[in-house]
């Protein structure tokens, strides 16, 4: 399986980037469907762009998990990847905007693609290493799911803080 890890991770990046781009527009395309809202971008906030990354990452991870049953640390590694990608979006976006001011749309697109690549680079490193210090893969999976619950919840109940504000 180790020889296929790079192919899996590249495929995961491609699927995540494509699905994330589609989810960016799906809410508008659906006529602003309340059923679609929890899984797609409903505005241009940083939080919504993180959601565009999360759901494709989760979808690919669920598919990939069927082929990585021999990796007892799979979900621990996936949690590291998901957190890396999700944290990359606000860190890069706010650092760039803080340093240079408002960013053009093409920079925001690049930020998304970089953030989509980082989880798979991180995961490839740990999958090839073959071990993890994570002792509770079920808790890692639960944490990944909890992140999804937060995305759904905050779609409808947004706190009044900058990361949730429509840019």
Q: How many other C-beta atoms can be found within 10 angstroms of the C-beta atom of residue 52?
A: 25
Which residues 6+ apart lie within 8 Å of 155 measured at CB? 37, 38, 42, 51
pLDDT of residue 102: 78
Average pLDDT of the residues in 9-30:
96
Ordered alpha helix ranges (H), 30-104: 46-65, 74-100
Segment 21-45, tens digit of pLDDT? 999 999 999 999 999 999 999 999 9
Domain boundaries, the chain: 2-164
Structure tokens at 18: 């494509």
Tell whether pTM > 0.85: yes
Which residues 6+ apart lie within 8 Å of 48 measured at CB? 41, 42
Helix (H) or strand (E) holding 140, with range, is helix 137-156
């Amino acid at each position: 399986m180790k020889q296929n890890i790079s192919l899996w991770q590249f495929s995961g990046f491609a699927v995540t980037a494509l699905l994330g781009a589609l989810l960016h527009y799906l809410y508008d395309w659906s006529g602003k469907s309340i059923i679609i809202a929890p899984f797609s971008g409903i505005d241009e906030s940083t939080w919504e762009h993180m959601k565009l990354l999360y759901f494709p990452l989760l979808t690919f991870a669920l598919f990939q998990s069927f082929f990585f049953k021999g990796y007892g640390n799979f979900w621990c590694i996936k949690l590291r990847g998901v957190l890396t990608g999700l944290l990359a979006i606000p860190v890069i976006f706010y650092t760039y905007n803080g340093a240079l001011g408002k960013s053009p749309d093409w920079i925001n697109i690049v930020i998304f693609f970089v953030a989509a690549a980082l989880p798979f680079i991180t995961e490839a490193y740990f999958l090839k290493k073959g071990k993890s210090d994570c002792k509770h893969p079920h808790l890692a999976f639960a944490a990944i799911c909890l992140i999804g619950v937060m995305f759904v919840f905050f779609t409808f109940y947004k706190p009044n803080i900058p990361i949730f504000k429509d840019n």
